[in-house]
Amino acid sequence: MSEKLQKVLARAGKGSRRKMETIIAEGRVSVDGKVVGLGERVTDNQVIRLDGFVVKYITEADTVCRVLAYNKPEGEVCTRSDEEGRKTVFERLPHLNGGRWISIGRLDINTSGLLLFTTDGEFANRMMHPSREVEREYAVRIFGEVDDAMLNRLRMGVKLDDGEAKFLSIKESGKEAGGEGINRWYHVVLTEGRTREVRRLWESQGVQVSRLMRVRYGQLHLDKQLPQGGWVELGLKEVNHFRKLVELPKETESKVRIDEKKTTNTQARIRRAVKKHTQHRKSTERRRNTSRTRN
């Protein structure tokens, strides 16, 4: 049986299906030595190359869908490398043999909180697609005057540059969240992941977002005990909850051990890993700066 080329590339860990469609359209993919376009279907006995490199054909039956929950700090970018030398969200993730982590959506450099990664490109594509209406919840600190009329407009929908957008719900968090004066904390929910959508919605009403943190994706809440820069792999039950949500078949295998919470993914281990990574990066930056000074 044949499959869509972009689906095969996404499953191989080359990126989301949407990104693969762009790459195919750019003429960067060949099948059996011939550059192909969108709409191409392939089988497991054909040779697929991306930018000249052979892509291993992985069937759905051979794929284990793994999912990580990562607590992203502010200051990290959601790209695999950065020309400006900024930290990326991929630096701290565990190494994979024969695959790579795909981010399920993005958070901008000034946004912190829950970011999901997976090894399954099709799963990532469905989780991100607006038609699936997977909820994202954010804690947001607003600087400026907010009234009921403004909140009603944000719930009903306002026009942005890329179309109408709205929050499904808006709830004030109260003073316990640290708001005072004209700084107020709110929890907002939406089902899309457009670029800077939460910030642009508030800014359309003449107020500023001074802090933004994603606290929930679907039914998964950010673990308050998970330190910034730390990650934890989801168990089979949690993975299958998300797969059911986007109408994918259940997984029967997991890389997470039954006693995971008591051993390798303890909070102490996570904190040590975060500290070690931070120290290593600082040491690398010092050596780089010293080298520049000498030159």
Q: Would you state the structure tokens that stand for residue 121, as one six-digit string?
A: 């490109």
**Which residue among 51, 108, 162, 223 is the active-site one?**
108
Report which of 213, 205, 197, 207 is spatially closest to residue 164, judged by C-alpha positions: 197
Query: Cα separations (Å) of 58 from 9, 13, 27, 66, 277?
Result: 9, 10, 22, 15, 32
Rounded distance, CA 186 to CA 163, Å? 23
* Residue linked to tokens 């078949």: 249
Q: Could you tell me how many residues make up the chain? A: 295
Half-sphere exposure in the Cβ direction for 92 (13 Å, CA): 31
Q: Would you state the structure tokens that stand for residue 87, as one six-digit string?
A: 């930290």
259 is catalytic: no
Q: Please state the separation of Cα 226 from the chain's center in Å.
A: 17
Task: Mention every residue, 6+ apart, whose C-beta is less than 8 A from residue 50.
Answer: 9, 14, 23, 28, 29
Residue 51 contacts residue 44 (beta carbons within 8 Å): no
Active site residues: 108
